[in-house]
Structure 1
Amino acid sequence: MASAPQDALARLGARALGPLGVRRAPAASTIRRVLTLVCPGGLADLLGRHPTSARCLAVDGESARGSRIDTTAAAHLLSAVLPGGHVVAQLRVPDKTTEVIGFTPLLAPFDLTGVTVIADALHACREHAKWLVETKKGHYLLVVKRNQPTLHTALRALPWKQVTARRYDRGRGHGRRKTRSVRALTVTGLALDFPYVTQTAKIVRHRVDVRSGKATRKTVYVITDLPSTTASPQLIAQFTRSQWKIEAVHHVRDTTFAEGASKIRTGHGPANMATLRNFTISTLRTADHHSITAGLRHLSYKPHTRPLDFIGLP
């Protein structure tokens, strides 16, 4: 930034100093200090997107491993992501707690009427389901694993072999052949002892490594308050894949941006840097850059003008 021309500094809002009105870029230490002090919630609201007209919203958490220091655990960030991989909200989970307590504060500011919130097994709790349906007038689709042993056992015992509502998808990518089957079954909340549940699904994923021939199989159960007339096995499969979008965002932050090696570890720095990375990923994907690495390379060819044009800075 120190080598930026005067017109680029003017677009960035750098102050004009002296009788000649020469603009100077802020020092790296100043930028670092601002990042550690700025309210992460305000920055996330400024750069995020509102889930207006969204059909679903995925929630998941990730730790910024590079933020760990001797006396403080790594910052754990809970995010809400749209199907296209756009982060709409992010919240740092207080130290020595779990991301479960951040679920309600993360989503509370948004109008979730008619929106289906998708979350992993950690959030498959009755309080979250009641809050989404009763307070936010939304819907839920929750993954159930062995951390809910009674519910998981009840789901496994359902008559899946007799289910006729099925969906099969086959594909190939990243050197693997993939087959996914979804079986959906109408149930009652009383049968599963879970509020408002009307349907459950069993998702079986088969993967075969093309080169080695190694095959893996994974079975996942999900529950939802959406009835079969609204959520077909195909739609359930689409919603479940939305959960993987948030994992893809975390993967890009770890690999492309080397988040784990970041030296910004104090104050609000880890949360604000994660917000800036999310904004970059979302903006590049909106511009149809399927490869974030290629998109960043494209911007780097004209570093003083192209990024500013890209975000629409006048």
Structure 2
Amino acid sequence: MHKRVHYAFTVKRNQKNLHHQLATLPRAKASVKFSDRTDTHGRLETRVVQAPAVSDLGVDFPHATQVAKIIRHRTQRKNGKRSRETVYAITDLTSRQASPEHIAKIARSQWTIQNRLHFVRPTAFAEDASKVRTGHGPDNMAALRSFAVNQLRATGRTNIAAGLRAMSYEPFRRPLDLLCLT
């Protein structure tokens, strides 16, 4: 039995060609919009999501059916500094499967992944200072680091740096205990 898996990607300016293609789509067809406001992490954030169907717009991305334009307005509570960012979410979910509100939730959920894994690797493992740079080495090391983070989280650890320190106290026993290999 085959299950259909859907995708939703956030496209930022660092993906120049795709970002430009999505930015130049006609927005007049965006009849559905969603807006929300949050006050967390010391900032007030407003997001506006416009999501037109793209089936007739010729987006060069496999199976894409919607491209949502997400405009984020942020105001820092501490200093009143304001910023605005526009990103795009591209998905194969139809407008019936994912409203602009649902797309906004999907885009926000990607920050959970960023904060729980991708931010942890560079800080806890000093990933940016790694000397492994050729062949499959960087990908393999990233996979091992992600595995270590996930194993620590599976045991209830929320502070990965503290978990790594605890493992280092008995490097020949504790990591094996964590993996149930003793």
TM-score range, shorter chain: 0.7 to 0.9
**CA deviation string 1:190-232 (max 9, x = no partner):** 2x11365433322122222232221111122223231222113
* Higher gyration radius (CA): 1
Mapped partners of 1:312, 1:113: distance in 2: 32
Mapped partners of 2:147, 2:17: distance in 1: 33
SS at 1:168 equivalent? strand
SS at 2:17 equivalent? coil
The one-letter amino acid paired with 1:212 is N
Match of 2:58 in 1: 193
Which ranges of 4 or more aligned residues in structure 1 deviate by more than 6 Å? none
The one-letter amino acid paired with 2:3 is T
Distance of aligned partners of 1:308 and 1:289 in 2 relative to their CA distance in 1, 3 Å threshold: same
Distance of aligned partners of 1:263 and 1:221 in 2 relative to their CA distance in 1, 3 Å threshold: closer
8 A contact 1:144–1:223 mirrored in 2: no
8 A contact 1:144–1:152 mirrored in 2: no
TM-score after normalising by structure 2: 0.74
Please show how residues 265-276 of structure 1 align to structure 2 within 5 Å: 265=133, 268-276=136-144
**CA deviation string 1:120-168 (max 9, x = no partner):** 549xxxxxxxxxxxxxxxxxxxx9975243542124x3255x53x4242
Please tell me whether residue 158 in structure 1 is matched to residue 28 in structure 2.
yes
Please show how residues 104-123 of structure 1 align to structure 2 within 5 Å: 113-121=3-11
Structure 1 gaps of 5+ residues are 1-110, 123-142
Match of 2:101 in 1: 234
Higher relative contact order (CA 8 A, sep 6+): 1
Structure 2 gaps of 5+ residues are none
The number of residues matched between the two structures is 178
SS at 1:282 equivalent? helix
SS at 2:103 equivalent? helix
Please tell me whether residue 210 in structure 1 is matched to residue 81 in structure 2.
no
SS at 2:143 equivalent? helix
SS at 1:211 equivalent? coil
TM-score after normalising by structure 1: 0.47
Match of 1:48 in 2: none
Instruction: Give the RMSD, CA atoms, in angstroms.
Output: 3.3
| Percent identity of equivalent pairs | 44
SS at 2:25 equivalent? helix
Mapped partners of 2:129, 2:67: distance in 1: 41
The one-letter amino acid paired with 1:210 is R
Distance of aligned partners of 1:290 and 1:272 in 2 relative to their CA distance in 1, 3 Å threshold: same
Cα shift at 1:292: 1.8
Please show how residues 227-266 of structure 1 align to structure 2 within 5 Å: 227-245=94-112, 247-248=114-115, 249-265=117-133
Query: Paired residue for 1:295, among 158, 163, 169?
Result: 163
Mapped partners of 1:207, 1:312: distance in 2: 45
The one-letter amino acid paired with 1:293 is A
